[in-house]
Structure 1
Amino acid sequence: MASTKALETIAQFLLFLSILSFFISYNDLEQAKFDRISWKYADFKRVSKRRSVSLRSGDESRDKNKTRMYGIPKTGMKYVVIYNAVSKCGSRSLLSSLYSLYTPREVHVDVTRVLSIPTPYNASFLLRRVQSMKTPGFVSGHLPFNIYARDDVVHISMIRNPLERLISLYYFNLYGDAGGLRNKEFDKRWQGKKFDSLEELSNKDGYPQRQNLLWFFTGDERVRDDPERAVALAKSNILNHFIFIGILEEYNASVAIFEKLLPQVMNGLPSAYNKTMTERRDMYRTVNRTTPSTKTIEMLMENDKFLNYEFEIYYFVKQLFMELKKTFQIS
């Protein structure tokens, strides 16, 4: 009788532990969700403050003794390609083309949207993922630049005219594309407003829900605090850690240069891209986009100083692009 009662007590205790464990796990999950949402309002202030110190102290000095990577062909397949995909710069077109090449070549592919959210957990998770990835490897996402503790990493990207990107991003967030993809989290205050009607274009922050181009090439959200230093750091990172950055306005020439610089991993990319465009061009097109007035463009260029810094990076990359285009005799 006593033993039966003891067993019942143990069973009840175990049931209590299982219930307690469930609630702890549930709370951890909910806390994780909250952390992702509240990151930019709370934890980000602590980490970004620490990172801003390194930005101001001259991070570009870390590359003084590093051999320039940009535009130097890389043979073989013993490396990991990091695609820092700038939003609304044709990343899905490039990814669709690359996937058709990578499947038969057994390239290890890692593409995730979660890692694009700037939290300490995601940053450390991505570092571990890249560090342990087998070669040849390919990691993609709307990821900020970062330096990884391995020597076989090369970065690539695509950019476009910053003003055109800004307009495309705005209408994509509002209406999505013909394939049904859209930003469901876009602030409802902007719903139904054309680009021309945004009075907020004249304020210091400029465009709503915007990812600054410099962030993709510095990895620091506080580029607004010292944009001139951020531009210098971005240029240093581009020259020393990126093998190539394509130009959306010259997509065919860009994929041809990718093939020249990464011949084993991206051999056949121009043909794959042409096939992708034949099959999916209309799917990737932003819908309901209209051209803003000259007045709106002039106001934006005058008031949004960060857009001018983005143009400085754009023309810097475009100059490098034209040099490679001439070197490889690509029309």
Structure 2
Amino acid sequence: MLEKGILTIAMDLIHLIVYNRVPKCGSRTFLSLLNHLKRKGRFTGTIGTLPTQKKILRRNKDLSNDKKLILIKRSIKQLVKKKNASSLPAVIHGHFRFMPIERSKQPVYINIIRDPLARMVSTYYFTRFGDGQLPGRMLKELNARILPEHFNMTFDECVLQELNECVSPVKLSTQISYFCGIHPGCSEPSQWSLEQAKKHIEEKYLLIGIIEDFESTIKVLERLAPDLFNGIVAEYKKPITDDKTTTTKSHKGPLPSKKVRAIMMTKLDLEYQLYNFVKNKLERLKNTLGITK
């Protein structure tokens, strides 16, 4: 999308940002930076979709997952419609899959992803122990998803026993699904879902960064859209404040063994293809913009 005419496109941004943040990929840090920019007057607001999504899921427990996704899409599109020209620029964010939003001028999509196995391990232990900053109520909600007999298992044990929490198709294609969309085929790893994800990344996203190169990610973002993101790098480099977290958190559990890593590298092959696709695209953007780190 942006490797040709990159600066021209950046000057023509329409100032509605959609950040469909992938879980456990530095979104808390990134949102704290966006909120700093909001306080500086760059955005009229940062609007989270979580309350709306929770309400839909609570009221429609008996619906299939595909139908729930459709309802979530409709609700998010309604949030977008409420943001008229006088209330822009704004950021709409939440844990939801890519969805095309029809407007006279398209939103700008952004995101950040992570090494697939590291993301899975982080999610596994986060669901059990949080990260020291998660409210107790939310941690209880996460804990409730785990069978009591599985709670104290290590990630290795989960993989070797082939439990759904670690090896189900949905778990093995999380990042692909976030860019593939809400089509039923996006919920499982396949060459088709991978290609759909790549297509949307190429055609719809201003930028997808990687958490392992977070500073370069925000440097690229600042260069692509200075009207919106100028100052984000300087804020990130400031000493840690109460409302800003680091991009990495140690989890409460051992790292995967070599055996389990080998198993998961095979199972996550398509996820790594997507990760490397995004990583290579970021490198090309850095080179184009003269960013060396």
TM-score (norm 2): 0.80
2:120: which partner in 1?
166
Amino acid at match of 1:195: F
Output one character per residue of 1:291-311: Cα deviation in whole Å (capped at 9) or x when no partner: 111011112233x2xx11111
Amino acid at match of 1:153: P
2:48: which partner in 1?
111
1:217 matched to 2:179? The reply is yes
Q: Number of aligned residue pairs: give it.
A: 261
1:84: which partner in 2?
20
* Mean CA deviation greater in 265-274 or 111-120: 111-120
- Gap regions ≥5 residues in structure 2: 58-67
| CA distance in 1 between partners of 2:159 and 2:48 (Å) | 37
Output one character per residue of 1:245-280: Cα deviation in whole Å (capped at 9) or x when no partner: 011001111111110111111110111222374654
1:99 matched to 2:27? The reply is no
1:310 matched to 2:280? The reply is no
For 1:198, which of 150, 154, 158 is the aligned residue? 158
Q: CA RMSD for the aligned pairs? A: 2.6
- Gap regions ≥5 residues in structure 1: 1-67
Secondary structure of residue in 1 paired with 2:274:
helix
2:249: which partner in 1?
285
1:185: which partner in 2?
144
Secondary structure of residue in 2 paired with 1:310:
helix
| CA distance in 1 between partners of 2:286 and 2:241 (Å) | 24
Secondary structure of residue in 2 paired with 1:178:
coil
Amino acid at match of 1:235: K
2:65: which partner in 1?
none
| CA distance in 2 between partners of 1:187 and 1:94 (Å) | 28
* Mean CA deviation greater in 262-271 or 276-285: 276-285
Q: Which aligned pairs between 1:259-270 and structure 2 lie closer than 5 A?
A: 259-270=222-233
Q: Which aligned pairs between 1:1-331 and structure 2 lie closer than 5 A?
A: 68-69=1-2, 72-73=6-7, 74-75=10-11, 78-105=14-41, 106-116=43-53, 118-134=68-84, 135-150=88-103, 151-181=105-135, 182=139, 183-188=142-147, 189-199=149-159, 202=162, 206-207=166-167, 210=171, 212-220=174-182, 221-224=184-187, 227-275=190-238, 277=240, 279=242, 280-281=244-245, 285-302=249-266, 304=267, 307-330=268-291, 331=293
| CA distance in 2 between partners of 1:87 and 1:276 (Å) | 25
- Bigger radius of gyration among the two: 1
| CA distance in 1 between partners of 2:70 and 2:186 (Å) | 18
